[in-house]
Amino acid sequence: MPPMTDTRARGDALASRQPSRHSISPPRTARRDPLRAWRIAGLALPFAALVLLEVVVRRGWLPDHLVPAPSEILDTLARMGIMRVARHVGASTLRVAAGFAAGAGLALVVGAAMGLSRRIDALFEPTFQALRAIPSLAWVPVLLLWLGIDEAPKITLIAIGAFFPVHLAVVAGIRDVDRKLVELGAVYRLGPLALFRRILLPAALPQIVTGLRTGLSLAWMFMVAAELIAATRGLGFLLSDGRETGRPDLVFGAILLLALLGKLTDGAMRRIESRWLGWRDAFDGASREGGK
């Protein structure tokens, strides 16, 4: 074989061993979730509790006039019909959405002002401490006198419930920002708005999101009290109606729907939290558990 032909053959063989830039690389193996079994167990746990409750009630170990069997609760909801259940769920959800938006929005503004200014905090903090101690049901007669019996007092009561946890989280989040970060912003000559947007807000965001989740859960709790105000529709109305008519299946059916709605909305907030705070490199317990 001539030298030129031999060199070309060795070059072709070497090129055949090297992967092409356009070749498709083998798919990477999916990263195994170490908590997958625990997550599945967490989802199965409430269903196992319902099955156990069904057995306990059916065997007569627990009086069914106090705690109905889960199958009876589901049968009650099924006999109500999808449209009727949807009307009650929709009415409560709209009230929670409106009240949470109003209360959390106002809390973000007021909390930011109090967190950034010691003077504003000293002016308003004593009043907010006193208002925060008032139980939800104590607001009901006041709101009835001021706003009547329409939707306004219901939404206002829900807004009150959502306001305080968000307000506390915003103030605490801003006050807990590391002073060195603020001094770094001063070194770079950031203005007040740029300092808030680029340093204070990102650093305080984890606590703010936690406050929003807490405020949303309290909004659902205050919704039940709000729907005691001359409501004719909603899950709080179903609770009151079941109590007055002596129907525990209706009461527990409303409680079941409240639990499902609370879980769904909190799950949505957790998705928002993971999207907003995906940049964090925070401790989540995995390293400690992995070392065991």
Sorted by sequence, the CB contacts under 8 Å of residue 251 that are 6+ apart come out as: 238, 239, 242, 243
pTM of the model: 0.80
Within 10 A of 190 (CB to CB), how many other CB atoms are there? 16
Q: What parts of the chain have a pLDDT lower than 50? A: 1-5, 7-11, 13-15, 19-26, 28-30, 291-292
CATH top-level class for 69-278? mainly alpha
| Distance separating alpha carbons of residues 59 and 148, to the nearest angstrom | 48
Single out the residue of 219, 123, 232 nearest to residue 165, CA to CA. 219
271: tokens are 């998705």
Tokens representing 238 are: 């179903």
Q: What is the pLDDT of residue 62?
A: 86
Q: Whose structure tokens read 């074989």?
A: 1
pLDDT of residue 15: 47
Report the number of secondary-structure helices (H) and strands (E) in the chain.
Answer: 13, 0
CA–CA gap between residue 256 and residue 250 (Å, rounded): 10
Residue-level pLDDT at 52: 92
Residue 128 confidence (pLDDT) = 93
* Pair of tokens at residue 231: 């409501």
Rounded Cα–Cα distance for residues 270 and 266 (Å): 6
State the Cα–Cα distance between residues 215 and 97, nearest whole angstrom: 11
Model pLDDT, residue 286: 56
Nearest to 104 by CA among 202, 200, 204, 208: 208
Alpha carbons within 13 angstroms on the beta-carbon side of residue 26 total 2
| Residues contacting residue 15 through CB under 8 Å, at least 6 positions apart | none
Looking at 26-178, list the stretches that DSSP marks H as alpha helix, in order from N- to C-terminal side: 36-58, 70-80, 82-116, 118-132, 136-147, 151-175
User: Would you state the pLDDT for residue 34?
Assistant: 74
